[in-house]
Chains A and B, each alone.
Chain A
């Protein structure tokens, strides 16, 4: 009887240790920030910054005039323009990393094709001085419903504050497809500061 109990205890110990070894979080998970989840129009509070997502607009192309030259940026999918308000909490900080996380896990980073435009990242924030900012992404129409906007201080290493805001307030048609406007000017000024 004693021997059986010993053997069972041994098997149990092996099983527990094996389980612990297989489920040990990897380095990336151990050093990842603890995200703060929120919805659109909520003031999402992370340790370093507060963010409120105001509006998400979809456009087929971006039209603007720079240095007297007319430019049109087309895409095979959609342009997504997100306007938000950012504020630092207790200390001057910067928010440089914005990602559009699609419902299937695809990550789209802000588009670099536009060049300089008002309100684009990286954003330098100071406490008490909130800013209205704009993030522009290029994505596919099926990556819109159920998407999340992920904001954090920097891309690598992402150690501190991370805000994940679910995109739930979209103008859609009855079949769930997002309402897409034909053209958007990324150089238009952000109303209010």
Chain B
């Protein structure tokens, strides 16, 4: 009598041990995720990871405002000795219609970068000898602190120093903390 009971119990034990081991396969990843999901979220929010393609001439809403890429242009007339050899100064021009005027929060960590086909990126840099922009034209961060109102149309220009051999294939990308990991990838 007791033998039969014992056998039943060991069989039950065995079944539950097997089930527990299978459950580990699910529990371990879940516990790792629950410990680190906040960090993963932080990581994603600070990187340009998911591109949103914008066709030439198209206006896209980003960071509460409507962005339109106007074009890249080379800067002429700087004395060659002032610039590093093989480099070319380029200005990227955008027209923005301000939607949500809370720019200081929405446009936080605004970064307009240029990328080439190989994936290398160039951040805006100061170009020695570049002429000052026309009044009213500022960089993305300056515009965020300029107190622009809803409905205003602003021109945003950023300066870059890029190698001459990739100057023609560069494409701008726009990223902001409020919208990351999504970023806009414009086509010229």
Having A91-B121, A124-B125, A128-B86, one finds 16 other A-B pairs with CB under 8 Å, namely A91-B123, A92-B121, A92-B122, A92-B123, A92-B125, A126-B87, A126-B123, A126-B125, A126-B163, A127-B163, A128-B120, A128-B163, A129-B84, A129-B86, A129-B87, A193-B84
A-B contact number at CB 8 A: 38
Contacting pair A129 B121 (CB below 8 A): no
B155 at the interface (CB under 8 A from A): no
A90 to B161, CA, bound (A): 15
Contacting pair B123 A90 (CB below 8 A): no
Where the two chains meet, the residues of B that have a C-beta atom closer than 8 Å to any C-beta of A are 84-87, 119-123, 125, 161-163, 165-166
Q: 7 nearest interchain CB pairs?
A: A128-B163, A92-B123, A127-B120, A91-B121, A193-B85, A90-B120, A129-B87
Q: Looking at chain A, what size class is its interface with the partner chain? A: 10 to 19
Tell me the nearest residue of chain A to B119, going by C-beta: A90
Where the two chains meet, the residues of A that have a C-beta atom closer than 8 Å to any C-beta of B are 90-92, 124, 126-129, 131, 193
* A90-B85 CB under 8 A given contacts A126-B162, A129-B163: no
Contacting pair A127 B121 (CB below 8 A): yes
How far in angstroms is the closest Cβ of chain B from A159?
13
Tell me the nearest residue of chain B to A92, going by C-beta: B123
**For A129, what are the chain B residues with a Cβ–Cβ distance below 8 Å?**
84, 86-87, 161-163
How far in angstroms is the closest Cβ of chain B from A38?
22
Tell me the nearest residue of chain A to B87, going by C-beta: A129
A126 to B176, CA, bound (A): 21
* A90-B87 CB under 8 A given contacts A126-B161, A126-B162, A129-B163: no
A193 to B163, CA, bound (A): 13
Contacting pair B120 A91 (CB below 8 A): yes
